[in-house]
Chains A and B, each alone.
Chain A
Amino acid sequence: MPQGDYIELHRKRHGYRHDHFERKRKKEAREVHKRSAFAQKALGIKGKMFAKKRYAEKALMKKTLAMHEESSTRRKVDDEVHEGAVPAYLLDRETTTRAKVLSNTIKQKRKEKAGKWEVPLPKVRPVAEDEMFRVIRSGKRKTKQWKRMVTKATFVGPGFTRKPPKYERFIRPTGLRFTKAHVTHPELKCTFNLEIIGVKKNPNGQMYTSLGVMTKGTIIEVNVSELGLVTPAGKVVWGKYAQVTNNPENDGCINAVLLV
């Protein structure tokens, strides 16, 4: 006979112990305390594994309880008043949640004057000059080394014309020139592809700002007329600042977050 069947066979022949059912009940009642003591005392990997299993159990239990609590009788729908009231003509339409009207332009102008900004990335890794530029040798014997080529993403305006090649010291290759940035609105959490108007400040130095180099942490100005924002005075806003959040020379695109 298979070894597990002996107990059953004995039970069939002789019945249960006289206190079997009581002991069984009490043992099961003590299980709860035992489990709790184990959960509290178990250390190390054993403890972690138990905790994980226990958490999954608890979550499932909560769900089933909630399901049972839901009454099966049909109640009148929508008893509570929701927020975000919209008029009747907008009720059946899903409108994308939009940003509220902007912060005061006067405050912005004051901040601009003071040169202080609260930005999402306050500190960025400084970029050394030898990382930013590559030395270009020129001249008949290739001994002159006064030219530099920028290795990071740059922005040149639409009316940009190079200096005569013989005299230009900084070369900005067309492959690394960008006109558009993927700008994310921090509250709406949606991203727009907006045109860059200019580079406002590069944290690595004022020379890079004037060259138009965009590295991580640079403040750029973007064209937001697409978003349809209006100031409290009624004027349409068409330019806002954004901060670059990725390394554009590695990714091939500029990701920025809008400064509201």
Chain B
Amino acid sequence: MQLLIQCCVLWFVSPEGIEALCNDVNVNHTDVRMLIFAWKMKAEKQGYFSKDEWRRGLKCLGADTRPKLKKAIEGLDKELKVPECFEDFYSYAFQYCLTEEKQRSVDIETICELLNIVLKSEFPNQVNLLVEYLKVGKQLFKLIYVQNDYRALNMDQWRSFYRFFKEVDFHDLENYDSSQAWTVIIDNFVEWLKEKEKN
């Protein structure tokens, strides 16, 4: 443990430190496993680990040596098998992107990246369509009265994506019921999917 704490003097203050960590364990910093590691640590600020957070993370992983740490991080994606855990992680992922004090929404670009990192393995097709919609779809809705121009999304909308992927079959959109309190962006996404299918 002492060994790792010594090493972490280098690591814990800055993004550069994290990059070094990533190099050490041979995992890309955009890899989902780094994000999972942050979640385990309950890291509050993106790009930084505090001493307590670091300690928490190591304890969770049961790693006290570098090789152990490397191995633990490599296997982190298995942590998400349980649905409750995944949902918690999923929400955390969004929160992690809120960098400013009173920030409540995350820009579209980051959302798309996050979707790719977090959900693509489980819902590859759906994620591709949603990302396409978020980036391109807004152009189609100029005539509709309610503004559909999304530049940033909030936690509620983020959460609705995962739920939507889990509960709705993309091949069976006729049964989608917009009075079921889905978020408006999901309602519009479904409209866009239906239009797309027709053409």
Indicate, yes or no, whether A interacts with B. no
